[in-house]
Amino acid sequence: MSKRKKGYLIFLWMFLLLSISGFFGAFYYYFYRNIPNTYKLPVSKEETIHFALPVSAEVYKESIETMGTNNVIKTTPAGSITLKADRLESYHMDLKLFGTIPVKTIDLEVVNDIKVYPVGEPIGIYVKTQGVLVIGVGDVENVNKMTYSPCANIINEGDYIQAVNNEEVSGKKDLIEKVKSCNGKDLIITLRRDDEAVKVKVKPVLDKSGDYKIGLWIRDSAQGIGTLTFVDEEGKFGALGHGINDVDTSELMEIENGGVYKADIVSIRKGENGNPGELTGVIDYGMENKLGIISKNTDVGIYGTLSKEETNSLTKGAIPIGLKQEVHEGKAFILCEIDGESKFYDVEITEINLDNDNTNRGIVLKITDENLINLTGGIVQGMSGAPIIQDGKLIGAVTHVFVRDATKGYGVFIENMVLMR
């Protein structure tokens, strides 16, 4: 065989291998992008999932009761899969290409139909941390102008201080007082670190002002403005669409308690490309302005319970939630209060990421309403939690704005929020 012919055959084999690799790469990308790892199925309703490939499915439970009737889930093979379950259960579904090649396992969860009341009103938020959050470790200059770092390599950024010498710490001021009154003796500090209790010993330093210090930057609370997404008939609410993270550590704050309050928007800084805008509001933290309590801070929002009076004023016009498989590209609305009244504004959903690793970025949307663009320039800080409505269903909440294009942003699927309440 000539060298030329041999080289040609090698080229053909390489081209074939690359083509096959490209096919399987595109195939797995399709499954990653378009088929979620988890799938919520409404109880007693038939749903069909359509695939662009000849895929079949096997649905099963890891365990079943040894007596009683079995709950049968219905499937049809090849290309499209029809599912129906008549009671609340959890299943696994194995997808196979051509009926033989395993490609993905999906967790199926059967859920009730849910209706909630979309809100879209601005709220003032105040939360108190569980313990005192360490946001940085610094130096202390003593009376002899020598610099020490008492907590270096002992206490870490992101730790929560819970007690000093076995006495509970109630907050930032309490911790400072406990250190000041130590008379230079070693302190046994109890921390919560990665969900574990840790005890460390720290030697305070008498600083140049005559106070004992340990060289920590600390925080015990956070506050700001966001948007109330929904409330149910029992007064349970969800807001923001993302968690409250510490501005210095970027970690999700572990909260002890908190409250939501009336907020009045007093000014708007319009968003521009490269410079996100912001809603500026006035919050009165008086008890008469408190709307409810915050009980939970999660990656997909904050949760709590509104007062009975506030619940009664908001629970009008309940609508069903749309599960993420119902969301589609095209026209939708967001509900938010910018100029004193909650209004619907036109948006377009441009992209859907059913299995995005970041749960707050499942929906990509673009503001198309000229009135809102004239008011705010697009999506601005303070609009986090604004309900997204499509086809008469609540499908998500606004979470982020694109820095380079203020008219675009991300949203979280509402099923991720509502089922956490």
Q: Which residues are catalytic?
A: 242, 369, 384
Tokens of 364: 């990509």
Of 202, 52, 215, 221, nearest in space to 130 by CA: 221
DSSP string, 58-76: EEE-S---SSS--------
Which of 139, 127, 223, 202 lies closest to 171 in space, CA to CA? Answer: 127
Give CA–CA dist 388/241, Å, rounded.
11
CA 223, 117, 124 angle in degrees (round to 5)?
A: 15
Distance CA 395, CA 352 (A): 12
- What dihedral angle (degrees, nearest 10) is formed by the CA atoms of 70, 71, 76, 77? -60
Q: Are strands 236-239 and 55-60 parallel, antiparallel or unpaired?
A: unpaired
Which of 124-139 are b and which e, b meaning 16 or more Cβ less than 10 Å from the residue's Cβ? Answer: bbbbbbebbbbbebee
Query: Which amino acid is residue 29, in one-letter code?
Result: Y
Q: Tell me the C-alpha distance between 91 and 72, whole Å.
A: 11
Distance CA 272, CA 403 (A): 8
Angle formed at CA 128 by CA 124 and CA 130, multiple of 5 degrees:
150
User: Whole-angstrom Cα distance, residue 280 to residue 263?
Assistant: 10
Q: Which residues pair with 281 in a beta bridge?
A: 265
Query: Cα–Cα distance between 288 and 295 in angstroms, integer?
Result: 19
Q: Report helix, strand or coil for 100.
A: coil
Partners of 296 in the β-ladder: 303
Rounded Cα distance between 174 and 98, Å, is: 66
